[in-house]
Amino acid sequence: MTGPAIGVLLPRDLPPDHLVSFARRAEELGFAELWVVEDLGFAGGVAQAATALASTTTLTVGIGILPAGARNVAFAAMELTTMARLFPGRLRAGIGHGMPAWMRSVGAWPSSPVTLLEEYVRALRALLRGERVAVQGRFVQLDGVQLEAAAHPVPPVLAGVRGPKSLGVAGAVADGVILAEPTAPEYVAQALEHVGRAHVQVVAFALAAVDDDASAAVARVRPALAVVGEPDWAAHLAPLPFAEELAELRATAGSADGVAEALPDEWVRWLALAGSPEEVRASLTRQHEAGAQTVVLIPVGSDPLARLPELARVIR
């Protein structure tokens, strides 16, 4: 079995004037994909993706994710089709719920996020295919809307979700799924069970640190694993072989940072891609065997551009 395609994440807090340098360096080092995020208060996903595409020649650029509640589906289709026509075959579009607290703060959290996602992705894919779409859904209403020209090839639409119901919807209406970090192989496999069908595109995000000194890599990635101490990430942890012990740690550590500090090194390596190049390649193989076709490495530390050559050492 060959390994997964290796991508890299553009950190959300990277200054905009560093975006072009980061994208070009990622392409130069041999990464197959560059993924951008759209987190509230940081940079817009469409602007980042378009800039990265225009600044490179072969790199596939993914957006992970655009929140469904933030944009009218027809206008989202226009943005995505424009990029896909300008840069054929190089765009992957992620759609999801967005973080509930962020979406509520801007008045865009729907009464039924799962229903919105299903209606939105169905309509978006039809619009991207160039179809005339008439739908009167609970959240999506389109009255014979059609784009003047479709992209060829049509960019895939992946659902960036984590709950069982949302993963089931992704299996029914999307081209694939984006799994947020941490993505241990057990979580990837369980998520695919919820998706409920084979032959879907699976993109797994993973915190990553690569160093000949494996302990240094573990130490570098550890602070970023504070996410496992937060409630929204419980689904990522349930299928782990040490889930009960981790639940006890989460209950007693006192804070998310405290959870990260108390994680045994073995658990850090399980939850993130941390270690020597050989160790990380072995972890990538396990993720691929669990079903991830693409693994997106998330740089950690204060200088993500400087970390790119280290992460690129795992590319075969």
> How does pLDDT run across 157-207, given as a tens digit for each residue?
999 999 999 999 999 999 999 999 999 999 999 999 999 998 899 999 999
Cα angle value 45/294/170 (rounded, 5°): 70
pLDDT of residue 232: 83
pLDDT of residue 279: 98
Tell me if 293 sits within 8 A of 202, measured CB to CB: yes
Residues 5-314, CATH architecture: Alpha-Beta Barrel (3.20)
> How does pLDDT run across 4-41, given as a tens digit for each residue?
999 999 999 999 999 999 999 999 999 999 999 999 99
Which amino acid, one-letter code, is at 93? A
Domain spans in the chain, listed from the N-terminal domain onward: 5-314
What residue ranges of the chain have pLDDT lower than 50? none
Which amino acid, one-letter code, is at 136? Q
**What burial class does residue 135 get, using C-beta atoms within 10 Å of its C-beta: 0-12 exposed, 13-18 middle, 19+ buried?**
middle
Q: How far is CA 139 from the centre of its chain?
A: 24
Mean pLDDT, all residues of the chain: 96
Tell me if 65 sits within 8 A of 98, measured CB to CB: yes
pLDDT of residue 198: 86
In angstroms, rounded to a whole number, what is the distance separating the alpha carbons of residues 146 and 131? 6
Max Cα-Cα span within the chain: 59
Q: What would the 3-class secondary structure string for 82-148 be?
A: HHHHHCCCCEEEEEECCCHHHHHHCCCCCCCHHHHHHHHHHHHHHHHCCCCEEEECCCCEEEEECCC
